[in-house]
Structure 1
Amino acid sequence: MKIVNTSVKRPVGVIMIVLAIIALGVVSLRSLTIDLFPKIDLPVAVVATSYQDAAPEEVENLVSRPIESAVSTVEGIETVQSQSQAGSSLVVMMFSNGTDLDQALLDVRESIDQVSGALPGQSGDPRIMRFNPDQLPVMWVGLTGKDTASLTEVADEQVVPLLERQDGVGSVTVEGSKEREIQLILDQESLQQYGVTAQTIAQTLGSTNQNASVGTVEQGNKDLQLRMTGQFESIEDIEKTIIQTETGTTVHVEDLAKVEDSFKEESSTTLVNGKPSVVLSILKKTDSNTVDVATTVEDSLQEIKENLPADVGLDVIIDTSEFIQMSIDSVVQNIIIGGLISIFILLLFLKSVRATLVIGLSIPIAIIATFTLMYFTGETLNILTLGGLALGLGMMVDSSIVILEHIYSYRKRGYSLVESATKGASELAPAVIASTTTTLVVFLPIIYVEGIASDLFTPLALAVSFSLIASLIVAVTLVPMLSSKLLSKAMEDNGRRYWFDRFLGWINDKYRSVLKWVLGHRKTSIIASILAIIASLGLIPFIGAEFIPSADQGQVEVRVETELGSTLEHTESIVDQVSEKLTDFESDIETNYVSIGGGNGIGGGGGNTATYTMQLTPSGEREETTADIVQDMDKALQDIAGAEITVSSMDSGMGSGDPIQIQLNGPEHEVLTELSDQVVSKISDIEGVYNPESGADEGIPQMNIVVDKEKAAMYGLTQDQVSGQIQLQFTGQVATQYREAGQEMDVTMIYPEGERSSINDLRDTKIQTPSGAVIPLEEVADLESMQGPAALTRENQQPQLNITSDISGRDLGSVVSDVEAALEEMNLPDGYNYSIGGQAQDMAESFSDLALALVFSIFLVYAVMAIQFENFLFPLIIMFAMPTTVVGVLLGLFVAGIPLSIPAFIGIIMLAGIVVNNSIVLVDYINILRRNGKDRYEAILEAGPSRLRPILMTTLTTILAMVPLALALGEGAETQQPLAVTIIFGLGVSSIFTLLLIPVVYTLFDDLTLKITKRRKKKKGLIE
């Protein structure tokens, strides 16, 4: 090939190009974004709407349903889900893969605009957002001290502004802070005495507290701007505000209410390692590097600490970049170990440091070139792309080995160094290119794979492909050039490592003997191979299946739920008991952060919830895995009465939602609630089901106030006026805003706490009529005590209820099979049905897509070989190596105790392109020998042992380079382990079958060809 001749004759040019690639690769590596996993592109949008003080039923009927109907017509939508809870509505739209989400969001916005006028006046403006799984906090930072109010001030004035100025920081959210407000504590007796209503006070404060431009006036040759100032400048200004009474007299605000500079009533509390605190969650910008952002924030925290008061502590609670960095480091370490193993294998076979150096250089150059290509394709540096490099490490030297072996064969014949390099590389370059192509084409069907499998598979496929392409270029350019300069005395038999040559000779002899036997017992060999494949299929029930292996990230979540309607104080007392129990696990817990009453999601949670977020020590520093610790914690906390406590792992599994999610659909929420209880009871007895939960809550205790509109009208009252006065007494009302030192706070009218805390206070509520008279609430309304739902869920405009469950001790596939069997036994009423979602659904869809990709990959491999051999028969013979990989794959997963997962399935697809390479080498050489006049039997007996050495070299470098990954050494290696195990066992076992089965299949097909040829000749002779 011309490219080989050029590289040999112009070594300086090749060296300069290599140096340029290295320089560009180093620059690209510094610019690559580092993350734990590739970016997951989920075509999901969210519409969030608030509807203050509305019950879930009202939110569903007045807000969620109109929005659902409006967005359901948007093109590309597959599923519309809504969750209606007290005070808020959340509508989630899931689009089909490939949908242009930017255009879809514009269509959603147009649809919302058409119905926004029909939404209740008290509802907030709908917020339309793109769901981005990357928008999770990079770091949580805790401010601890004695006074939460002062901590809030420190956070708002010192910490947050500085952090938000750091490169890569998107936003900083403060949790557990105290929000300052000016409270006007109304005196009901004074209001009645002066005949003043709360609305009068609010209107007066609002109209007084403002500045206004009222025109201009001339003064000489200048225009003076006339400006009326009235904005409150002090608390005293609020107190002295004049209120006009109905009788025409005037009073001050301080005569009607007590004005206090205070804080909004606390709805949540945060504790860090048991101390009251304010917690800051830091989000990065979308295109920022997680590790760089975390490092920058860490450095800025040191600067902030120097200026903090002595009694204020500032510490990192959870830093997600630590696990990312440890995972990346462990993969890099595995790459280095694998590279050293490959070089050792080469040195063992080649018996020459110079020859090993020539081939070994292809590894770092290929890796560096891959970094460059990853940068320009927008890929991130994560454990899967780096894992792809580690997996391709052993394959990077395959092309170089074949080229070097052939160059050396010419050298032994007496050719000069330059001639040997030119002829040897030129002759085998087409075969090497074809061989590499069979490995690369298996990645082409990725275009047929969608969803999470595609998001994970594509970056890994690109990393492996880039590395193989780079190593191929090195093999046909750099290797011949270096061979022409460095191999003058290389690979000469000087007696060193003679023991290894004797060992290879012994293996050759044994292989020749076995090969003779299988050629003499062809039927037995074929039947034995078929039986081995069938026997391996019997291992499938013992292997199981899962979506993606979870990495032991060491994060644990404990959720505490007391009875609905519980006060914040009661939940805090339960939390104290939980914290006491958790002291038994102190040695394994690095940080412990609990949010009480804060809740999660839009609308928040009530005072009956508390959530612990714990960071455990690194997995290498503790004896138990995160899953084991979760089990131990769960057992220890179940003794606490008065709350439902759930312990779960937050480790990265890349799944969408819970492992098992059962979706019940039907026309009535009440029936769904009853069915969900039956489902939870049914699946709780299944082995492996852990913490099954129903989305149906017991119900929030509530008091319905039913206004008698006829009676209210007699007093000149409307329902809105009655509800407004009740809301003022029990919730308060913002009258205006007060600005001080650049801060803006609410001025809130509220009644004393003693007048708004009990049912009797509600019954004693005084309603003021337009005429100024005061009547009791019971005069115009009835009070009804009942249980109301906490949240109502719908999917595709039909009521839905979800039952979720974690799994423990068993694989996801087998647990799902048992769950489906249990659900089949249930007789659901007409109109009600169920479906399985969560990770189980993702697993089924991904396996289906990958199976299709595997079929296409096999076809493409056959097509490439047919083009290479210009024959349809020989590729078919070579393809017989593929079924035998089943034996190795299933045996490997069974021995390692690893379920079949997406990474393992990707390994199977990669094997389709790898295992045929050895067969290509063997069959090609058999054909060469037969063309040179050798008998078929002799050709096989000569080709097998002579090709054994390069086959062993390429196979061992590929397999042994992946051993560190297969052993799951280091943090985050669990994700790549199934992929490595699959390739190691699949390639190892198939190589044995290749060396023995392929020659047998070759003879059978050759005999069949001869029979067909003879029949045609005989038929032709009869015709003639």
Structure 2
Amino acid sequence: MKTIGNKIVRIQDVATVKDTVIEPRSAYHHLHGETVDKAILVNVLQNPDASSPVTIDAVMKLAKELEKEFPGIHLRVAYNNAGFVDVLFDNMRHELIAAVILTGVCVLFFLGEWRGTLIALTAIPVSLAMSLLAMAPLGMSLNSSTLIGLLIAIGRLVDDAIIDIHAVERHLRMGKDRRQATIDGITEVRRSVLAATIVLIVALIPLMLSGGLTQLMFVGLGWPIIFGLIFSFIVSMTLTAVLCSRFMTLPESRPKTWFSRLFLAPFERKLEALERGYERLIRWLLHHRFANFVRIGITVIVGFSLYYFIGSEMMPLGDVGQASLQMEMQPGTSFAKTEKATKQLEQILIEEGGRQGWIRDASLELGAEGGPGMTTGGAYFTGYQMSQVSGVSGMLSLTDKDSGRPDIWTLADKIYDRAMKEIPGIRRIQIKEMGSDVMATSLAPVALLIYGKNLTLIDKLGHEVFNIAKTKALNPATGKSDLAQPFLSWEMTKPSYTVVVDEDKAAAHGLSPAAISEQAYYALRGGFPMEFYRTPNKRPTTILVRYEESQREDLSNLQGMFLTGKDGEQIPLLELVRLEKRMAPSAIEHDQLRRVVSFNGYYRKGGRPSMDVTMDVQMRALADLNWPPGYGLEARGDMTQMMDSFRVMLSGLAVALVLMYLILVAQFGGFLQPLQMMFSLPLELSGVFFMLWIMHQAFSTVSLLGVIVLSGMDIVTAILMIDLILQYRKAGVPRNEAVATASPQRLRPILMTALITIFVMAQVAFVPKSGLDAYQPLGTVIIGGLIVGTVLSLLDIPIMHTVVDDMVRWVQDRVFKVDPESLPPVE
């Protein structure tokens, strides 16, 4: 080390040299069932365009080869999404099979014979296959989003074929041969089918091109619908037409089977009676239009008023059997104590789910890499917390939710309650479900930022907001807080000592504050001055220099240390500095260059949704607390994401409505006829809000997507009705007679299409399987909107046509002075 005169001072003369390992500051534990093993975690990341099952199979084969090549190594799967993907594919297959079967049954009963049913059903596999082929060049895979898109599309895949078949059958009844009936029938409805297809596509295109988070969330759902619509129209123009011209027959020439006599014939008589009753109702409404409009107004007012009772959220909660876990001990907790706490947590996991087989695997990563003085050590942000020796992060893999286990939130809250009570020194623990959407990685849905300059004051305000959230922002219905697992991102609880340097005294000894802090820091923490035994392709041996453990145990060691001056003199530390004890923040958080602390929490099904909870806490905190100048409270989490997404989606809906109107203007050659078709849109919203209220579901981005899809579906109903009414009027039929005649003829295909979509979406809306529960409100919205929107459209669109026609006649009579006798007849 040094030569003093003739004496050589060696390291062994002043220090003890030990050949050891770096002090452990990180570890990895893997829990499988009731077994916990220490291990090393190896993460394998797939390319964005790769298939998860294919990648996982390749990794598993490689793992087996490595175990054979290195007998001492045992590889165990800690986590993979293959289980979820397999469950999702099984659910998707069952959903699609059930949808096709229900569609076939519905078509069979409405058409009343098997030939037309088979012709209509051929559109499903052909259109689906073509849609899947079209998805491949876009790099899309089969997942929960594309599955929902395909399910929604199924109702429309047979819609075009049903309309064609119904029109062909009507022309067959006129005595035409199959070929001519097919040509005339399909030509008759082709314009309305084309308009309906374009309108539905236009409703979705703005959403697909919106960019940002909204596009990421729904692009996988929208394209399957769009492709399905396009190929359904192509199939109806080609394959359906050919099959109709070859196989369609008149009802009188069809053989009467026992199934037809027992089921189809009675159902056909009911449908015919329904059509006759519907015609009588339309004729009555034509003479009582004012009463009808009063009923419309009451329906819309009551339906829209329900919006204020359903709440709002960004994305619905979904249980896919995966959860992230974050645990943080009190600042200053050693790694040894953190590992002890982790073992207690593992025991809780075993007792609450591992023993019962509900928790298959739990991967827990403790602490942070590195060690004293290492440049690669220290804290880093994982996306959920600062990774330090006092922190634990992990992933839980559960069995499928349909296997009989409790839902993921019940398990998470039980684990949370026990951990907070039983683990000494714990500051917080969070267990969050990992949904099947792009929002699955957000920290917490309920999040508020308290900002300012002084960390102590920010911390004080943060705790006051925390108390308000727990004690005042309560659910009016239950009197309890709707927040689960609330926490602050950091607290002023980290014990620390500030070294205040007397700069004049320090300068007299040739020391600067930086030099003093450096000596104090390395004396206690140690440092790595160099590497030893540096061998190529091998990890070098490092040298750590620091005081003995007995000389760096407590404050007295720091107070008694000596500093080395400019001439090698030894100066007691306390001659140059004073030590001030204070509490420091466990982390320093910034948002837009401001110091902040974030209050976070989760919400649960059955309580108020995230936006309602966030708004309640925010408004109460702003009203009850004293906020100094420069300090304030802002919403984050789901609320800001939801507001941005709602803004984008509503803008997309507005653009879609304008485009749909312009397309209808071009299709029907006027500006007034499309207006009556757009009239169906507010009618559907009454059913949407009513259904969400009945199902106790919040209005979310998924719900808004359903509204966008519904907008196109309901306008299709109006297009089919108005188009046929106009055809009758062009043939010279008086207006009211045209309305009363055309409306019943469109009743059957309209009801058929609506019922097929309702049947297909019923399981998603009422008993969703794993991977699909986050889309439950989509099914709810579509079912509610279709039921109410279809019924009201069938009643109101024909009457609205007469009102618009009366307005046109009034303008022509009063403004343009057209002779009323020259106008088309009304009665």
Query: TM-score normalised by the shorter chain: which range applies?
Result: 0.7 to 0.9
Q: What RMSD in Å do the two structures reach over aligned CA positions?
A: 2.9
Q: In 2 relative to 1, CA 814–248 (structure 1 residues): closer, same or farther, beyond 3 Å?
A: same
1:620 pairs with 2:620: no
1:631 pairs with 2:408: no
> Shift in Å at residue 612 of structure 1?
4.9
**Contact kept? 2:611, 2:638, Cα under 8 Å:** no
- Partner residue in 1 for 2:465: 679
- Partner residue in 1 for 2:523: 729
Counterpart amino acid of residue 592 in structure 1: A
Among candidates 24, 28, 39, match of residue 270 of structure 1: 28
Q: In 2 relative to 1, CA 560–438 (structure 1 residues): closer, same or farther, beyond 3 Å?
A: closer
Counterpart amino acid of residue 554 in structure 2: S
Among candidates 550, 553, 557, match of residue 757 of structure 1: 553
Alignment of 1:531-610 (within 5 A): 531-585=298-352, 586=354, 587=356, 588-598=358-368, 601=381, 605-610=387-392
Alignment of 1:65-214 (within 5 A): 196=1
Paired with 2:240 and 2:808, the residues of 1 have a C-alpha distance of: 40
- Partner residue in 2 for 1:803: 599
**Contact kept? 1:646, 1:691, Cα under 8 Å:** yes
> Shift in Å at residue 633 of structure 1?
2.4
- Partner residue in 2 for 1:668: 454
> Shift in Å at residue 547 of structure 1?
0.6
- Partner residue in 2 for 1:283: 45
Q: In 2 relative to 1, CA 786–1015 (structure 1 residues): closer, same or farther, beyond 3 Å?
A: closer
When structure 1 is superposed on structure 2, of 417-426 and 337-346 the one drifting more is: 417-426
- 3-state SS, counterpart of residue 333 of structure 2: coil
**Contact kept? 2:112, 2:265, Cα under 8 Å:** no
- 3-state SS, counterpart of residue 534 of structure 2: strand
- Partner residue in 1 for 2:294: 527
When structure 1 is superposed on structure 2, of 356-365 and 441-450 the one drifting more is: 441-450
Q: In 2 relative to 1, CA 485–461 (structure 1 residues): closer, same or farther, beyond 3 Å?
A: same
Alignment of 1:748-897 (within 5 A): 748-751=543-546, 752-769=548-565, 771-808=567-604, 809-825=607-623, 826-897=625-696
Structure 1 unmatched ranges of 5 or more:
1-195, 198-244
- Partner residue in 1 for 2:189: 428
- 3-state SS, counterpart of residue 533 of structure 2: strand
Give deviations 1:381-439, integer Å, cap 9, x for gaps: 33112211111111111112222333334444454444444444344333321121111
- Partner residue in 1 for 2:232: 471
**Contact kept? 1:558, 1:645, Cα under 8 Å:** no
> Shift in Å at residue 1019 of structure 1?
8.3
**Contact kept? 1:664, 1:800, Cα under 8 Å:** yes
When structure 1 is superposed on structure 2, of 603-612 and 745-754 the one drifting more is: 603-612
> Shift in Å at residue 372 of structure 1?
2.4
**Contact kept? 1:564, 1:698, Cα under 8 Å:** no
1:515 pairs with 2:246: no
- Partner residue in 1 for 2:95: 334
Q: In 2 relative to 1, CA 866–554 (structure 1 residues): closer, same or farther, beyond 3 Å?
A: same
Counterpart amino acid of residue 567 in structure 1: S
Paired with 1:409 and 1:613, the residues of 2 have a C-alpha distance of: 61
> Shift in Å at residue 843 of structure 1?
0.9
- Partner residue in 2 for 1:697: 491
- Partner residue in 2 for 1:293: 55
- Partner residue in 1 for 2:371: none
Count how many residue pairs are aligned between Structure 1 and Structure 2: 778
Q: In 2 relative to 1, CA 396–1019 (structure 1 residues): closer, same or farther, beyond 3 Å?
A: closer
Paired with 2:324 and 2:348, the residues of 1 have a C-alpha distance of: 15
Q: In 2 relative to 1, CA 584–678 (structure 1 residues): closer, same or farther, beyond 3 Å?
A: same
- 3-state SS, counterpart of residue 261 of structure 1: coil
Counterpart amino acid of residue 360 in structure 2: E
**Contact kept? 1:355, 1:490, Cα under 8 Å:** no
**Contact kept? 2:408, 2:433, Cα under 8 Å:** no
Counterpart amino acid of residue 748 in structure 1: I
- 3-state SS, counterpart of residue 317 of structure 2: coil
- 3-state SS, counterpart of residue 278 of structure 1: coil
Paired with 2:630 and 2:655, the residues of 1 have a C-alpha distance of: 40
**Contact kept? 2:420, 2:426, Cα under 8 Å:** no
Counterpart amino acid of residue 310 in structure 2: I
Percentage of pairs with the same residue: 25
Paired with 1:544 and 1:302, the residues of 2 have a C-alpha distance of: 51
Q: In 2 relative to 1, CA 346–249 (structure 1 residues): closer, same or farther, beyond 3 Å?
A: same
Paired with 1:972 and 1:300, the residues of 2 have a C-alpha distance of: 29
Structure that is richer in strand per residue: 1
- 3-state SS, counterpart of residue 593 of structure 1: strand
Give deviations 1:23-44, integer Å, cap 9, x for gaps: xxxxxxxxxxxxxxxxxxxxxx
**Contact kept? 2:416, 2:485, Cα under 8 Å:** no
**Contact kept? 2:688, 2:785, Cα under 8 Å:** yes
**Contact kept? 1:559, 1:609, Cα under 8 Å:** yes
Paired with 1:878 and 1:477, the residues of 2 have a C-alpha distance of: 28
> Shift in Å at residue 491 of structure 1?
8.5
Q: In 2 relative to 1, CA 767–472 (structure 1 residues): closer, same or farther, beyond 3 Å?
A: same
- 3-state SS, counterpart of residue 262 of structure 1: coil
**Contact kept? 2:459, 2:492, Cα under 8 Å:** no
Paired with 1:821 and 1:913, the residues of 2 have a C-alpha distance of: 38
Paired with 1:521 and 1:415, the residues of 2 have a C-alpha distance of: 39
Q: In 2 relative to 1, CA 520–411 (structure 1 residues): closer, same or farther, beyond 3 Å?
A: closer
**Contact kept? 2:812, 2:818, Cα under 8 Å:** no
Give deviations 1:877-921, integer Å, cap 9, x for gaps: 222222110121112212222211111101111111111212222
- 3-state SS, counterpart of residue 748 of structure 1: strand
> Shift in Å at residue 725 of structure 1?
4.0
Paired with 2:669 and 2:236, the residues of 1 have a C-alpha distance of: 24
**Contact kept? 1:397, 1:471, Cα under 8 Å:** yes
Give deviations 1:634-683, integer Å, cap 9, x for gaps: 33333224323434323226434421221223333333222222211222
Counterpart amino acid of residue 538 in structure 1: S
1:501 pairs with 2:268: yes
- 3-state SS, counterpart of residue 680 of structure 2: coil
- Partner residue in 1 for 2:477: none
**Contact kept? 1:680, 1:803, Cα under 8 Å:** yes
TM-score by length of 2: 0.87
**Contact kept? 1:557, 1:613, Cα under 8 Å:** yes
- Partner residue in 2 for 1:642: 425
Counterpart amino acid of residue 296 in structure 1: A
- Partner residue in 1 for 2:730: 931
Give deviations 1:431-479, integer Å, cap 9, x for gaps: 3211211111112333774432222233322221111001111111222
When structure 1 is superposed on structure 2, of 605-614 and 619-628 the one drifting more is: 605-614
Alignment of 1:435-446 (within 5 A): 435-446=196-207
> Shift in Å at residue 1002 of structure 1?
2.2
> Shift in Å at residue 707 of structure 1?
4.4
> Shift in Å at residue 692 of structure 1?
2.9
Paired with 2:169 and 2:42, the residues of 1 have a C-alpha distance of: 65
**Contact kept? 2:92, 2:147, Cα under 8 Å:** yes
When structure 1 is superposed on structure 2, of 591-600 and 787-796 the one drifting more is: 591-600
- 3-state SS, counterpart of residue 594 of structure 1: strand
- 3-state SS, counterpart of residue 279 of structure 1: coil
Structure 2 unmatched ranges of 5 or more:
369-378, 474-480, 821-827
Among candidates 154, 166, 185, match of residue 405 of structure 1: 166
1:743 pairs with 2:532: no
**Contact kept? 1:337, 1:964, Cα under 8 Å:** no
Q: In 2 relative to 1, CA 491–444 (structure 1 residues): closer, same or farther, beyond 3 Å?
A: farther
